[in-house]
Amino acid sequence: MNRIYLDHAATTPMRPEVLEAMMPFFRDQYGNPSSIYQTGRGAQKALDQARDKAAELIGANPREIVFTSGGSEADNLAIKGVAYALRSKGNHIITSAIEHHAVYHTCKYLEKNGFRLTVLPVDADGLVDPAAVASALTSDTILVSIMHANNEIGTIQPIAEIGEILRKRSILFHTDAVQTVGHIPVNVDQLGVDLLSLSAHKFYGPKGVGALYVRRGTRLDPLIHGGAQERNRRAGTENVAGIVGMTTALGLAMEEMEGEARRQQELRDMLIEGILRNIPHTRLNGHPKQRLPGNVNLCFEFIEGESLLLNLDMKGIAASSGSACTSGSLEPSHVLLALGLPHAIAHGSLRLTLGRDTSVPDIQAVIDVLPGIVDKLRQMSPLYDAEAMRKAQSVR
Ligand SMILES: *Cc1c(COP(=O)(O)O)cnc(C)c1O
């Protein structure tokens, strides 16, 4: 069976060119970049080149790049690093209700440890209001963290607008750009951010490697203490192969970005239309226009997301749902709840995220197979029966 992978927001397959670029650093070029003999110098050179390239691709200076073990570490370093460094200046942090857990749980952890946290609401499309950011600021505010685009519903935030407000007030601004780097234009100056997180495995690079952009002059305490790597901001022997793989992947993603974004956007809209046209009691989550080119997120009333996923999987389609079935408790996504959706509806969500390997026949296959699955599950649902009966009643 031809498997269709529609979960690119969770992770992407690594490109063969990326693996190729990484291989020498597992084989002959195994030296420690801090060593002064030849294999060490070779590794250091590769690291320098990777840093130059990563910086250039997001409009930064190489000194402003800190390599990390991924997006989660970059988010933790940005938020805890600034919070601890600026503790004597103030203790107030602002974030939004739809952040990735790597940001949200980090902020919650700081709140438990003496910081004051404001969690801004979003509107029904998932947008943060820049005016709400402005009015939440106090003389104690040291950091604002708002994601560039949401990983579940794809909504793209007005980061540049928020950045302008914060720059005037000299308040540090972090954005989690893990879903946007390599997919839509990202430039740290145009966005007006001081810190920006990215992760390689979301743009066809290896897992376990990412970076944090830190604007020059930004005070930041390290999370990991030890050697002097990354200009004392992140100790530990560098993941040379991973870092080379990441910048190779980023270069390739940037080259094809414009055309690929346009292509995926067309497929995305074809998928959304095809589903909404054929399946009643269905709604699109996230902003209809201001959304990631490859993101589709829908709620099917009277249905449970998990059973939808299992049925799609049986048809060879890999997707994701808003409810994370962790430790046996089926909690609906905090993102969908923040949009104002009731629990019962948030449970019936489906996220389909497209990638560079997604084709028109893939999209058509989903459009063809989904109505049958949804109908079957609804027939089994007591909620749906109740609705049908209520309707029958009102007709009579
Ligand atoms: C995937 C993701 C992360 C976490 O990145 P890892 O490299 O998997 O740790 C953080 N934020 C967003 C928005 C993501 O999509």
Which of 11, 72, 103 has most ligand 1 atoms within 8 Å of its beta carbon, as the pocket-test mutant? 72
Kindly state if the Cβ of 102 falls inside 6 Å of ligand 1: yes
Print pLDDT tens along the chain (396 aa).
689 999 999 999 999 999 999 999 999 999 999 998 888 899 999 999 999 999 999 999 999 999 999 999 999 999 999 999 999 999 999 999 999 999 999 999 999 999 999 999 999 999 999 999 999 999 999 999 999 999 999 999 999 999 999 999 999 999 999 999 999 999 999 999 999 999 999 999 999 999 999 999 999 999 999 999 999 999 999 999 999 999 999 999 999 999 999 999 999 999 999 999 999 999 999 999 999 999 999 999 999 888 999 999 999 999 998 655 443 456 789 999 999 998 888 888 999 999 999 999 999 999 999 999 999 999 988 878 766 666 666 554
Task: Note whether 133 and 269 are within 8 A (CB).
Answer: no
| pLDDT for 381 | 84
Which position among 325, 386, 388, 389 bears the catalytic label?
A: 325
Distance 178 CA to ligand 1 centre (A): 6
Question: What is the spatial distance between Cα 170 and Cα 176, in angstroms, rounded to a whole number?
Answer: 19
Q: What letter would DSSP give residue 331?
A: E
Question: What is the spatial distance between Cα 311 and Cα 294, in angstroms, rounded to a whole number?
Answer: 22
Side chain identity, residue 317? I
Question: What is the spatial distance between Cα 178 and Cα 188, in angstroms, rounded to a whole number?
Answer: 13
Question: What is the spatial distance between Cα 121 and Cα 128, in angstroms, rounded to a whole number?
Answer: 7
Kindly state if the Cβ of 143 falls inside 6 Å of ligand 1: no
Question: What is the spatial distance between Cα 23 and Cα 26, in angstroms, rounded to a whole number?
Answer: 5
The tokens of 319 are what?
């997707």
- How many C-alpha atoms does 8 have within 13 Å on its Cβ side? 25
Question: What is the spatial distance between Cα 118 and Cα 116, in angstroms, rounded to a whole number?
Answer: 7
